[in-house]
Amino acid sequence: MDFDVLPGPTLPELARTALARAAAATVTDASPADTARTAGSAAVAGQVPVRAGRDGSPLLLPATGSPLARWLASGPAAVTVSVPASPPFDALRLTGTAGPLSEDRAAGLTACPLNLRTATFTSPGAAAQIPVGSYRAARPDPLWRVAAGVLRHLESGHMAELIGCVRAHGLAQADWVIPRGLDRYGLELLVLTANGVAAVRLAVPGGPVASIDDAPTSIRTALTCRCQAGPGQHRGPAAARRPDTPPA
């Protein structure tokens, strides 16, 4: 099992998914340092609600009358919008110009779309540029809404099965498994062994899938059941050394 060999989401897909699942974004002034800043531009830095448009363009939703909304209302502003990303990246950074489009007086929000210029994944000491055309053409992973809950469920209720499945696929020394990602291609796992940590993927048979319902019954049952870990189960690597090897 090699993470780099099995198929997985493309960078544009990962980027669209990162924005789709973000509830808030960090907004900063992206004007060149030597450009004169308009009054109040420094107040742009901060967290603001964000939504993803159909083409992946961020829609910023600052409070009407807030410093950010007033600054954007003064004219198209160069901004950087950052949202959290999944490992191995730290954040997705989207840059472009933003300005007010409309106000929702009932909600007290001003809609400010971003005219996207660049999309980049960042991590310590490295960056991965994403062509804007590819970003717009991609779609968020269809499982992004359920992925976080499924991963928590697998770790708390199905650790023995995960370890048995990983061992059956070639890592016989697996002591513990941390579910790290779920997408239409399969599961991404961190596997702990006596020799260290390995990042691996388990592909969904017949994948990629368009929804959880498309997964084989044996897989879908484990992903969607509402079981609870029993007393004494899944408390650490020692509890996982049972020879359980269910279907994977």
Q: Is residue 179 predicted with pLDDT exceeding 60? A: yes
Predicted pLDDT at 26: 94
Confidence of residue 227 (pLDDT cuts 50, 70, 90): low
Domains of the chain (ranges, CATH numbers):
11-137 (2.30.110.10), 144-240 (3.20.180.10)
Q: Regarding beta strands 109-123 and 102-104, do their DSSP bridges make them parallel or antiparallel, or are they unpaired?
A: antiparallel
- Please report, as a single letter, which amino acid is at residue 101: L
For residue range 183-195, what is the model confidence (pLDDT) as tens digits?
A: 999 989 999 988 8
For residue range 101-127, what is the model confidence (pLDDT) as tens digits?
A: 888 888 899 999 999 999 999 998 889
For residue range 128-158, what is the model confidence (pLDDT) as tens digits?
A: 999 999 999 999 999 999 999 999 988 888 8
Q: Which three-class secondary structure string do you get for 59-98?
A: EECCECCCHHHHHHHCCCEEEEEEEECCCCCCEEEEEEEE
Mean of pLDDT values over 204-228: 81
pTM of the predicted model as reported, rounded to 2 decimal places: 0.80
Predicted pLDDT at 246: 36
